[in-house]
Structure 1
Amino acid sequence: MLKKNIIWLVLVVIGLQNSVIAQQKIRLNDNWEFLKQDLGGIWEAVRPVGAGNPESVPLWQKVSLPHCVNAEDSVDPDMNYYQGPSWYRTLIEVKNPYQTGRTLLHFEGAGQKTDVYIYQTKVGSHVGGYDEFTVDITDAVAAFQKTDVYQKQFKGKIPLSIRTDNSRDLELIPSDLSDFNLYGGIYRYLNLVYKPALSVDKVFALATVDKDGKNASLNVKARFYNPKSASNAEVELKLISPSGKVINTQKKQIQLTGKDLEIANIKVAKAELWSTDKPTLYTVELNVKTADGVDQHQEKIGFRHFEFVEKGPFLLNGKRLLLQGTHRHEDHAGVAAAMTDEMMRTEMKMMKDMGVNFIRLGHYQQSRTILNLCDSLGMVVWEEIPWCRGGLGGDVYKQQARRMLTNMIEQHYNHPSIIIWGLGNENDWPGDFPEFDKEKIRVFMKELHDLSHALDPTRKTAIRRCDFCKDIVDVYSPSIWAGWYRGIYTEYKQVSEEEFKKVKHFLHVEWGGDGHARRHSENPDNALRKVKTGVGADERAGDASLIGGASRVSKDGDWSESYIVNLVDWHLKEQETMPWLTGTAQWPFKDFSTPVRPDNPVPYMNQKGVVERDFTKKEVFYVYQSYWTKKPMVHIYGHTWPVRWGAAGEEKMIKVFSNCDEAELFVNGKSQGVKKRNSQDFPAAGLRWNVAPNAGKNHVKVIAKKGKTVLEDEITFEYETRQWGAPAKLEVRKIAEENGKATIEVKLKDANGVTCLDSRNWVRFSLAGDGELIDNQGTSTGSRYVQFYNGRALISVKTNGGKNTIAVKSEGVPSELLTL
């Protein structure tokens, strides 16, 4: 059964007299069954499995881990996502190489409440969807192996059943008022772990260095898992350099007291510093030896010094670093929270390619894979617990918050990338409880602040958007959404300076706006004329709604990529003129699912991402690259804008985003001249040309130069000079087919056959036949119900080699059918 499982750390046998190192960690990915409902009891999960019992209901489906209960329904346009209990079951083989060892299940994350069973015995529970936890199954396995059922019914395998539950619960954080889904399932990796009788539970490796890098030291403490109450052990600690050389070894006998023990305190000569440009990592290896075996534990660490200058910038290793940041939710098309290592690596590398050096992990502890990637790629991190919106609950609620803060800090203590522990988000947002007492929230925030510093005095605490608590934490981020929820984007710098003066340490996280991918505009700033200025730039209750309230771009704008490009372009050019700024983090890197936005152009999606939910880049990705990266790049705005429009002979602006020194534009083979890049020349840093396109097809090419490097980019577009009237008909056709997948395009046209290029109407796709509609992806091309982008919409179909008919419907016009 375990043939396909990944051996995370293979079995190692080292010749030691009467001892072995045999540490094994096996990912339990395959051969799972899943049930999206509750059972009457554990017996229903473990009664004769696969025996063909016709009365064995309900039906289970085969899945692999990681798996999210809400992989598709979180973005289903016609229903709310499922919140409730679900079950997983499998059979495992237990072959612990240690004669007196412990067999553990290590959960990297499961949501939101988890119960674990070996056969009918409950062996552990956990509350909290984002921190890691371990369940010792040794005794339950041993007891089950003594039963007749073990051999007769289960043929020497162990039945493992797991119940997850993401039901609504006011005494659970995060709140269901949060702008993200509280997913259910085993959506991070689950590992079967073999350990000797005494093993390392956690290592706390405190690597410190002064700002000039001359005095570095390493203090190592350890916590042990010791269920058999061993009294002593021999430990060996090795510090391994980035090049793989052992540079320090410490050996000692320890007395096991049940408390964290100091293992070593080491001075490190000429330490190589960790930075965002050169993320240098050392390895701490701890070997613990008893008569029962040797347990080996490794941690990556880094030496770095950081400082938030009071009323000033951020320093890393004594030098100013402008934090160029983004945010991340654990969410992806088709799998929701169940992202694989490969997906996570792709996402983080894309961020680095965009120029990101800082990330806020919103709004919960995230996968260890992500933190490892932040360490190795060079991104400083703000990581936080999910005390998010709703107010403050009772004792159960508070205890969960304390526990999750403790777990987050202890589990991610050694990551050099982390500089901030976040204590909460939007804690000024009431709604879950009849009482909303600001003073009680302040008292609990102060408790969490003190707890954070007691657990880790080396890092800062922070919150975002709770002004009545801003004096409690070390670093504060107010709400500034200039040009989206309030005000216009040219007010960004002024509003930021005003907020900066109110706190000792200012860091602006969350800014930007929603862009419906593939929607573009010839007049994107039109909505700004309606927006009142001088009223601040903070988001307020109801601002995310598309109806009611004061004029604001989030409600009255066109939600085009064109507008978001202008907003971001302005923010980035201004940030270069703010020497006091620690940095910012745009919200977020990738579009993500949320239950509180059913009416967005892609239903149930927050569309503020730089990329879509499936990693498809939006145009704004290249704006960030042009400001934040050093590797030469050039990009003409409009790769996803096939048709522009206007009067015959009317000049249109063509923008080029590049970090090159100069660029020359060619339209239909004719040079439009050379422009020099100047970041303060808005828009597009001066790389813009006003050109009168030809009616019909146009070809645009740019040649950019940076030193001896020469780069090119090109696009084509149609220029529509005809005026269109009211929508009158749909035109649907297949535009591509490859590897059994057909791509369907629908256009909304007037009575004369002219595409309604500014349409924001809705369109619905459905399918009859042998195939499958590729929908519930949460993307502009992967939703069966979506707003048009410039009068068109796309969707794909798995044909399965059979007959299929696509139906396309949009209110007010006749429906259309297309047979494939």
Structure 2
Amino acid sequence: MKRSVLSLLTFICVFGQLSYAQQKTRLTGNWEFLRQDIGGIWEAVRPVTPGNPESVPVWQKVTLPHCFNARDAVDPDVNYYQGPGWYRTQLDIKNPYANGRILLHFEGAGQKTEVYVYTTKVGAHLGGYDEWTVDITQAVEDFKKTDVCQKRFKGRIPVEIRCDNSRDLETIPSQLSDFNVYGGLYRYLNMVYVPAVSLDKIFASAQTDKEGKLGELQVKARFYNPANNFAADGLIKLIDPQGKVVANKTFQLNNLTGDISIGSFQLKKPKLWSPIDPALYTVEVSVKSGDQVDVQTEKVGFRNFEFANNGPFYLNGKRLLLRGTHRHEDQAGVAEAMTDSMMHQEMQLMKDMGVNFIRLGHYQQSRIILNLCDSLGILVWEEEPWCRGGLGGEIYQNQAKQMMTNMIEQHFNHPAIILWGLGNENDWEGDFPVFDKEKIRTFMKTQNDLAHRLDPSRKTTIRRCDFCKDIPDVYSPSIWAGWYRGLFTEYKSTSEEEFKKVKHFFHAEWGGDSHALRHSENPDKALSIIKAGTGTDERLGDASLYGGAARASKDGDWSESYICNLFDWHLKEQETMSWLTGSAFWIFKDFSTPIRPDNPIPYMNQKGVVERDLTPKESYYVFQSYWTEKPMAHIYGHSWPVRWGDAGEEKMVKVYSNCDNAELFVNGKSYGVKKRNSQDFPAAGLRWMVPLQAGSNDIKVVAHKGKQTVTDQISQQYQTEKWGKPAKIVIEKVKDENGEATIQVKLQDIKGVPCLDAVNWIAFSLSGDGTLIDDLGTSRGSRKVQAYNGRALISVKTNNGKSVVGVQSPGLPTAFINL
């Protein structure tokens, strides 16, 4: 029966938004967790007597999102836990829709998951990074009819979830990957109420012509309709970035099967989406079936892009140099279980550094991150987790196909996305007895075709698999100039050689590790033993700290000083490479990995420009000086309290700034004005040779950009005393506030002179009432760490009691401090 459009509009206006607001609830509180398996589902729900010692196992209270490996991922003494874990809660379910459905919507759970209502299994999923739902409607109705529901659970619904991140060669990603394969409900879990007919997915394709003068929007819908209703009416609204409805269209359907085209629009001179002005339109789709309405909204952006053949990248008809980084879902103290606020802080730091592109390595990431990329104006390469190890069998390949499908369908509407990644380092063998390149090529073609079929509007890409580089639209080879191979001065020539080998070139992954708070007076010393002209690609064993050819990753000092020079050189060269589409350095934030136990912070990949807790390193400001417009100036050495050298020796003071010129003052004396020139390495010409005085030195810079002025200043000690080898440990409390005491350890020689180049291993321990703040994977939050300039820091929660902190270093007498 045909319904009146006026009636539909009136109903939506009055009830639609209210119904939509009530549909979805995050399930964050009232959870218990058990990090082990149980004998059977009954063990998770059976009655227990409080205080009964036979009431085992013991569950702990947690809040979602939650990761099994919040601490042990960077525990220096054990391998991180891989196995099953259980979660349980009780839900108060009141569905506002008559004959509606109750869904559990998982934004991501690692890695194999089973879901139960009381003792009834209601769903399962394979894959730790894509979204999925479980319909618990029937199980809830059945359980409500039982005496157990009313008598024992008082009408609440018990839900149990088993997550498992056990090793399995027939699943992706490979355990050879350079990141942890985490377990747990580490993304948000939602309870969703929907009507009998609801919108499962909206596919909104927003495109423009090359000039951006005409926009076109195609909208398709997929319905969730388990009762097999056959008719629905609907309305589509297109709302501009200022909130004005610029187009609307009604639709009537007599078939709700498959992906159905429900409307299209043309828009003259749409507001274009770009990194500078990420203008977002809203597509609002309302569907009415019977007397119930479902309303969903999606954000879209009108833009067009092009990877020119053997040339640069264009967005909306203009060349754009992609200035990129990478991201893992990993954070100090929580591992993969990052909250909204953590993700917002991280992405804003990227934007403030000048990033306009990000590769989400190496798996589909949280919808929150994609939403932030849309709103901040950060273009995206997102990829499926086919990473290293080779190619498995039917289960393995089906999982990869499904995860590729889910990633593209779930993130289809995001204007930020321009590239779908098919895999990473698929030339890396090891998981299977046979490594068959032709089979890998065949499956890579299958995935490439699948991606193009699901989304013809975007390009495909892979990184580092030369025998497949002809398959995707865009290819990124391995170039690690100055870290795993060669010298950083070889970056441009190597890139030019690789650029000529493919039609569409991009450079993903470059950079190197730096141990936060470690600085060097001679950071390039190791370069003298590294042989140039032998290639800059990463090869088997290059990540090892032992053996093989001389390379910065093994023979360098891992100082912030060296990595700043490496980044500085790359960035100044990129400004002269007119053919370059762009690059993405690896990685924005330090992250944990099971394959690097010997790094200065064990089990940490330390290639970030911020630490695992988002504390910026000095290199953050190198990028900011090249990539941002807002005036900034940063004196190198904010985290370098003591420099060293001979009395009267001139030392280089560097300032990273995007300003036109800068004047340096040391101890009140001006050392002149320097003009910025990006090609004047290092620090774009903003460097001064100045004599530091023994003891304290006050350093200040005043920089000008047009009529704007910015300043920065630091204070550094200058040590002229020479030292021998470390002979003793000196401990001091340097801070005590808000219930936390910060301890600093210094290594001194036999005469008590600080050993400012010492890199000894230091291990902290604690006995007493306090709690050591460790297992964070940061320079200040690890109980085992290499010294940075002969010192190390850690903090203790005092808990209003007494404690003793012990410090050990091989070959030195153990030292203690009372708190």
Q: Give the TM-score normalised by the residue count of structure 1.
A: 0.98
Distance of aligned partners of 1:688 and 1:749 in 2 relative to their CA distance in 1, 3 Å threshold: same
Mapped partners of 1:236, 1:739: distance in 2: 55
* Matched-pair contact (CA < 8 Å) for 2:12–2:293: no
Q: 1:133 aligns to what?
A: 132
Mapped partners of 1:545, 1:182: distance in 2: 21
Mapped partners of 1:211, 1:659: distance in 2: 32
Q: 1:329 aligns to what?
A: 328
Q: 1:197 aligns to what?
A: 196
* Matched-pair contact (CA < 8 Å) for 2:229–2:256: no
Alignment of 1:558-569 (within 5 A): 558-569=557-568
Distance of aligned partners of 1:270 and 1:14 in 2 relative to their CA distance in 1, 3 Å threshold: closer
Q: 1:170 aligns to what?
A: 169
Equivalent position amino acid for 2:599 in 1: N
Q: 2:287 aligns to what?
A: 288
Equivalent position amino acid for 1:58 in 2: P
Q: 1:727 aligns to what?
A: 726
What is the CA distance between 1:647 and its match in structure 2? Answer: 1.1
Moved over 4 A (4+): 12-17, 19-23, 49-53
What is the CA distance between 1:13 and its match in structure 2? Answer: 9.0
1:263 is aligned to 2:262: yes
Equivalent position amino acid for 1:453 in 2: H
Q: 1:3 aligns to what?
A: none
* Matched-pair contact (CA < 8 Å) for 2:12–2:286: no
What is the CA distance between 1:252 and its match in structure 2? Answer: 1.7
Alignment of 1:310-389 (within 5 A): 310-389=309-388
Q: 1:454 aligns to what?
A: 453
Q: 1:57 aligns to what?
A: 56
- Measured against aligned partners, the alpha-carbon deviations of 1:637-662 in whole angstroms (never above 9, x if no partner) come to 00000111111111110000000000
Mapped partners of 2:423, 2:254: distance in 1: 39
What is the CA distance between 1:23 and its match in structure 2? Answer: 4.5
Mapped partners of 1:238, 1:351: distance in 2: 33
Q: 1:81 aligns to what?
A: 80
1:434 is aligned to 2:420: no
Q: 1:116 aligns to what?
A: 115
* Matched-pair contact (CA < 8 Å) for 2:560–2:617: yes
Q: 2:4 aligns to what?
A: none
- 3-state SS in 2 of match to 1:572: helix
Distance of aligned partners of 1:415 and 1:50 in 2 relative to their CA distance in 1, 3 Å threshold: farther
* Matched-pair contact (CA < 8 Å) for 1:311–1:500: yes
Mapped partners of 2:296, 2:706: distance in 1: 48
- 3-state SS in 2 of match to 1:251: strand
* Matched-pair contact (CA < 8 Å) for 1:99–1:292: no
* Matched-pair contact (CA < 8 Å) for 1:22–1:97: no
Q: 1:480 aligns to what?
A: 479
- Measured against aligned partners, the alpha-carbon deviations of 1:317-337 in whole angstroms (never above 9, x if no partner) come to 000000000000000000000
- Measured against aligned partners, the alpha-carbon deviations of 1:581-623 in whole angstroms (never above 9, x if no partner) come to 0000010000000000000000000000010000110000000
Q: 2:3 aligns to what?
A: none
Alignment of 1:360-759 (within 5 A): 360-759=359-758
Q: 2:212 aligns to what?
A: 213
* Matched-pair contact (CA < 8 Å) for 2:251–2:263: no
RMSD of equivalent CA atoms: 1.2
Distance of aligned partners of 1:49 and 1:91 in 2 relative to their CA distance in 1, 3 Å threshold: farther
- 3-state SS in 1 of match to 2:495: helix
Mapped partners of 1:155, 1:50: distance in 2: 17
- 3-state SS in 1 of match to 2:524: helix
What is the CA distance between 1:24 and its match in structure 2? Answer: 1.2
Mapped partners of 1:303, 1:611: distance in 2: 33
Equivalent position amino acid for 1:484 in 2: W
Alignment of 1:132-151 (within 5 A): 132-151=131-150
- Measured against aligned partners, the alpha-carbon deviations of 1:695-726 in whole angstroms (never above 9, x if no partner) come to 11111111101111111111111111111111
Mapped partners of 2:49, 2:395: distance in 1: 40
Q: 2:806 aligns to what?
A: 807
Mapped partners of 2:522, 2:362: distance in 1: 35
Mapped partners of 1:214, 1:666: distance in 2: 52
Q: Which moved more, 1:304-313 or 1:283-292?
A: 283-292
What is the CA distance between 1:258 and its match in structure 2? Answer: 1.6
Q: 2:769 aligns to what?
A: 770
Mapped partners of 2:250, 2:13: distance in 1: 18
Distance of aligned partners of 1:49 and 1:274 in 2 relative to their CA distance in 1, 3 Å threshold: farther
Mapped partners of 2:316, 2:237: distance in 1: 25
What is the CA distance between 1:249 and its match in structure 2? Answer: 1.1
What is the CA distance between 1:16 and its match in structure 2? Answer: 6.5
- 3-state SS in 2 of match to 1:382: strand
- 3-state SS in 2 of match to 1:776: coil
Mapped partners of 1:545, 1:175: distance in 2: 19
Mapped partners of 1:20, 1:600: distance in 2: 53
* Matched-pair contact (CA < 8 Å) for 2:765–2:807: yes
Mapped partners of 2:144, 2:655: distance in 1: 68
Q: 2:789 aligns to what?
A: 790
Mapped partners of 2:607, 2:197: distance in 1: 48
- Measured against aligned partners, the alpha-carbon deviations of 1:430-481 in whole angstroms (never above 9, x if no partner) come to 0000000001000000000000000000100000000000000000000000
- 3-state SS in 2 of match to 1:524: coil
Mapped partners of 1:494, 1:121: distance in 2: 62
- Measured against aligned partners, the alpha-carbon deviations of 1:28-73 in whole angstroms (never above 9, x if no partner) come to 0001000000000000101126755432201100000000000000
Equivalent position amino acid for 2:143 in 1: F
Mapped partners of 2:713, 2:666: distance in 1: 10
Mapped partners of 1:189, 1:302: distance in 2: 26
* Matched-pair contact (CA < 8 Å) for 1:100–1:292: no
- Measured against aligned partners, the alpha-carbon deviations of 1:110-155 in whole angstroms (never above 9, x if no partner) come to 0001000000000000000000000000000000000000010101
Mapped partners of 2:20, 2:45: distance in 1: 35
- Number of aligned residues: 808
Q: Give the TM-score normalised by the residue count of structure 2.
A: 0.98
* Matched-pair contact (CA < 8 Å) for 2:217–2:264: yes
* Matched-pair contact (CA < 8 Å) for 1:13–1:20: no
- 3-state SS in 2 of match to 1:584: strand
What is the CA distance between 1:392 and its match in structure 2? Answer: 0.3
* Matched-pair contact (CA < 8 Å) for 1:21–1:293: no
Distance of aligned partners of 1:355 and 1:16 in 2 relative to their CA distance in 1, 3 Å threshold: closer
- 3-state SS in 1 of match to 2:643: strand
Q: 1:183 aligns to what?
A: 182
- Measured against aligned partners, the alpha-carbon deviations of 1:674-694 in whole angstroms (never above 9, x if no partner) come to 000000000000000001111
* Matched-pair contact (CA < 8 Å) for 1:66–1:186: yes
* Matched-pair contact (CA < 8 Å) for 1:200–1:223: yes
- Measured against aligned partners, the alpha-carbon deviations of 1:490-532 in whole angstroms (never above 9, x if no partner) come to 0000000000000000000100000000000000000001111
- 3-state SS in 1 of match to 2:236: strand
Q: Which moved more, 1:641-650 or 1:411-420?
A: 641-650
Equivalent position amino acid for 2:272 in 1: L
What is the CA distance between 1:256 and its match in structure 2? Answer: 2.1
Mapped partners of 2:646, 2:384: distance in 1: 54
Distance of aligned partners of 1:16 and 1:301 in 2 relative to their CA distance in 1, 3 Å threshold: closer
What is the CA distance between 1:255 and its match in structure 2? Answer: 1.8
Distance of aligned partners of 1:627 and 1:333 in 2 relative to their CA distance in 1, 3 Å threshold: same
Note the residue ranges of structure 1 that are not aligned, 5 or more in a row: 1-11
* Matched-pair contact (CA < 8 Å) for 2:418–2:459: yes
- 3-state SS in 2 of match to 1:652: strand
* Matched-pair contact (CA < 8 Å) for 2:180–2:593: yes
Mapped partners of 1:605, 1:182: distance in 2: 14
Mapped partners of 2:45, 2:185: distance in 1: 19
Note the residue ranges of structure 2 that are not aligned, 5 or more in a row: 1-10
Distance of aligned partners of 1:730 and 1:440 in 2 relative to their CA distance in 1, 3 Å threshold: same
Mapped partners of 2:691, 2:617: distance in 1: 25
What is the CA distance between 1:21 and its match in structure 2? Answer: 6.1
Equivalent position amino acid for 1:560 in 2: S
Q: 1:9 aligns to what?
A: none
Q: Which moved more, 1:176-185 or 1:696-705?
A: 696-705
- 3-state SS in 2 of match to 1:79: coil
- 3-state SS in 1 of match to 2:470: coil
